[in-house]
Structure 1
């Protein structure tokens, strides 16, 4: 019997799972990933430790599954997008990897905005421009660490680096590199004019060949086999940007469904067959796993990581108790508002987190409720915009850690007025990556056919119309407070 291994490298965990060609999971393993914050706004990862963690979760998944290594026929990797992982000219890691939440390039991005650079780039790249993009970090390195910049041999994203560790082959996978601001969305190739506009034209020789999600990129080499337990010579495919993997496993197949991901980031995604030039908003596009299709998404690091930070500070790890405490409070009744910007914002560069509206009557439960609401309110910014691009949306499919909380999901349904469908899948990132390995090894002809095997049971949550107006009223207060804080932030940064 043949099996397929998928790795999912996220902002908090790295995971691996083993599946058969029907999508049944036989074993999985996960490990925490540390974020290094050497300076305010910096978010980095030790590349050597990341590879060791990847090898460990692969070995752990194989052990837990009881599957023989020779029966694992292919490997795929799903990972966070954006950020920057560099190799020098000898193919050795060049410093720490920089993850997408990094904000060191804030001043550079502000300068680009003042120069109307996003407007110049968008028609070519179909991307916004912010601190976590590879181009922003590269421009920062050129300005602040020129010696390191001069040593760059290969520009990679997280799954490209891990694939290199497994195979020794260097390439950039298309769904991820297409969102780098170095890629021409229309032509499907790197564009030297983009690098020149951003004053990083020297980087062009360091951009590796672009490969497809299901394209075989290389094979497990001897040392990787020793560390992971995989068989030497096992095929490794390009892999996926994690939002693409999640959309695939959420069953997005037309413009009536949107996928909401709540994890380290809040993401709203939709699938389309065309670039729509009639829209007034600059929607972010990326290449999708299916040839000729695009993923459209809005995202910000304003999600469940905020809750995780607070649970660490208060040393509370009983999420069932948090849910009970929130459920016992009247819905949308408290005056407490929370801005979920601990790791970044969708309301402007440099915005920070905080509570407002606290009074002596409030308890810890009110803080938990405000965090739940704040994450959903921030998500609504993206959802409202995405519904302009996808006006025929009839249902939200929700994935990520908060989707396990019925209390949190009911809050989302009540605020939006949309029914929710929650796929009962443990690890959509791992499964999506494994599906690409199956396509690459010709088990399926393409991603659409592979998607058909995912017959996940859906949990359905129906909105409560009796509290819709209450949530909308509190959401308006959130937006008013946000507007005031934006003015405050801009004034302080003048």
Structure 2
């Protein structure tokens, strides 16, 4: 008996994955992809070559088609999701300017964003749901123009990561509100693009480069015949307009329907919950209009979560993440007095935050550094989740953990200990692609073809529940208090360093 198949493409901040899911069972039938090779530049630049994006996408699609074998003819549609913001600026030929995309972790516009936030951050928050931050397209474009890497008027079209994938697949230019709003370019009330946001950045001319807005889970276009032939996929497949990767992941585990807060242990420290529109607006990191009346995606984020661990692997020459985590968890909480500031890609709270070890002594070894880093990364997630809860957002005494870091149960156990309540660990790390496939299904008018848990008390697919360890909560609460005190004490140091950087 034939069963329909849906393909989800997920382009994150570190890698690209393509997965094929069986309708009905929700089983993963094929999976391909790998890391994306970002170019690190002086001053905090982080870019990705267009040629590498194309290569990674088409190689992964070919591999999935080959793995499906004769069942490839049962594929009915595909959807794309991807990381938010960054700069995907196109020229007249619909190619990326300078042949590169700029990642959302790019820090070259940090000073510009801080200055603009001081001048009009609150007004922008009320209009678009976020203040200026260094990874926004407007901030990056303004900085590159000042650096002489771009010229005014050179950007013909502005896209986001998933939409650039959609352009490669079917040739259509469009985006959805979840990406536009996350980037701080759309009015929070859903009335359209925010010209005030562009004017504040000094780039009002970019209004002509903004793509059409379409609802997520609608059909973007059909797979190009040349792409279908090259990748071994059926010709004319519908390609869906997906949503941003965070929302895709939340949808894959049923979190929006249940009102559950989710921590994504990925490159970014992302913590989010879909909640009702509140007046006055809660003071959070960002509010995102994703196209559903009366509800917003509420965010409390920092620019780096597992990016800190990635840095540690490179600099201390751990062979892989598992080895670093094994070393970390060989030591108790607190790393024998060593502390870490988890801001390897910067941070907005405290302002100007940067990374570093505090309390380093001669007896500390790399295992202590790994433990201090892990403690701080998970404490930062807990800090953000507690802020969401303080605004009445999320389910009482329950949260979920997704992303690459959630593959290690010890990380999620540490989060549960910090929060003092249960955390659901969704450690398959397929949620972004599964959410993209869900959008593809909905674009076809299909419902309930990939199972998710939408009822309170039910675990999402591939999830386990971890309760806080009874003998640990006191020690972890004390650590969190100390962590808050450390960040407050470090705020003047961060300001000093930011003001004295050549």
* 1:168 and 2:165 matched: no
Structure 1 CA distance for aligned equivalents of residues 144 and 289 of structure 2: 27
Residue 147 (structure 1) shift: 5.3
Corresponding position of 1:476: 481
The answer to whether the Cα contact below 8 Å between 1:270 and 1:390 also exists between their aligned partners in 2 is no
Q: Which moved more, 1:125-134 or 1:476-485?
A: 476-485
Give CA deviations for 1:408-435 in whole Å, capped at 9, x if unaligned: 2221111110101113534001110001
Structure 1 CA distance for aligned equivalents of residues 291 and 114 of structure 2: 33
Q: Which moved more, 1:203-212 or 1:246-255?
A: 246-255
Map 1:205-354; keep pairs closer than 5 Å.
Answer: 205-253=208-256, 257-272=260-275, 274-288=276-290, 293-317=295-319, 319-332=321-334, 334-354=336-356
Give CA deviations for 1:247-279 in whole Å, capped at 9, x if unaligned: 11222145752111101111111112x321234
Cα gap change, 1:454 to 1:438, in 2 (>3 Å): farther
* 1:61 and 2:60 matched: no
Corresponding position of 2:115: 111
> Which SS does the other structure have where 1:243 is aligned?
helix
Residue 31 (structure 1) shift: 1.4
Residue 21 (structure 1) shift: 1.6
> Which SS does the other structure have where 1:218 is aligned?
strand
Structure 2 CA distance for aligned equivalents of residues 331 and 94 of structure 1: 47
**Which of 145, 151, 157 is matched with 1:148 structurally?**
151
**Which of 406, 411, 420 is matched with 1:403 structurally?**
406
Corresponding position of 1:464: 469
> Which SS does the other structure have where 2:9 is aligned?
strand
Residue 389 (structure 1) shift: 2.1
Q: Which moved more, 1:117-126 or 1:480-489?
A: 480-489
Cα gap change, 1:464 to 1:346, in 2 (>3 Å): farther
State TM-score, norm by structure 2: 0.91
Residue 227 (structure 1) shift: 3.3
Residue 484 (structure 1) shift: 2.8
The answer to whether the Cα contact below 8 Å between 1:36 and 1:43 also exists between their aligned partners in 2 is yes
The answer to whether the Cα contact below 8 Å between 1:17 and 1:29 also exists between their aligned partners in 2 is yes
Give CA deviations for 1:42-91 in whole Å, capped at 9, x if unaligned: 11111221122111111112222335443211111110001110111232
**Which of 23, 27, 31 is matched with 1:28 structurally?**
31
**Which of 11, 26, 39 is matched with 2:42 structurally?**
39
> Which SS does the other structure have where 1:216 is aligned?
strand
* 1:14 and 2:16 matched: yes
Question: What CA RMSD, in Å, does the superposition of the two structures yield over aligned residues?
Answer: 2.5
> Which SS does the other structure have where 1:29 is aligned?
strand
Residue 338 (structure 1) shift: 0.9
> Which SS does the other structure have where 1:301 is aligned?
coil
Cα gap change, 1:449 to 1:325, in 2 (>3 Å): closer
**Which of 382, 388, 391 is matched with 1:386 structurally?**
388
Give CA deviations for 1:134-191 in whole Å, capped at 9, x if unaligned: 1211222443338533221100111111100111111112211122222112134113
Cα gap change, 1:38 to 1:458, in 2 (>3 Å): closer
Cα gap change, 1:386 to 1:447, in 2 (>3 Å): farther
> Which SS does the other structure have where 2:97 is aligned?
coil
* 1:193 and 2:196 matched: yes
The answer to whether the Cα contact below 8 Å between 1:6 and 1:17 also exists between their aligned partners in 2 is yes
Structure 1 CA distance for aligned equivalents of residues 95 and 209 of structure 2: 13
Structure 2 CA distance for aligned equivalents of residues 489 and 327 of structure 1: 29
Structure 2 CA distance for aligned equivalents of residues 219 and 280 of structure 1: 41
Structure 2 CA distance for aligned equivalents of residues 449 and 421 of structure 1: 14
* 1:437 and 2:410 matched: no
Structure 2 CA distance for aligned equivalents of residues 6 and 341 of structure 1: 31
Cα gap change, 1:8 to 1:280, in 2 (>3 Å): closer
In structure 2, the gaps of 5 or more residues are: none
Residue 467 (structure 1) shift: 2.0
In structure 1, the gaps of 5 or more residues are: none
State TM-score, norm by structure 1: 0.93
Cα gap change, 1:450 to 1:293, in 2 (>3 Å): farther
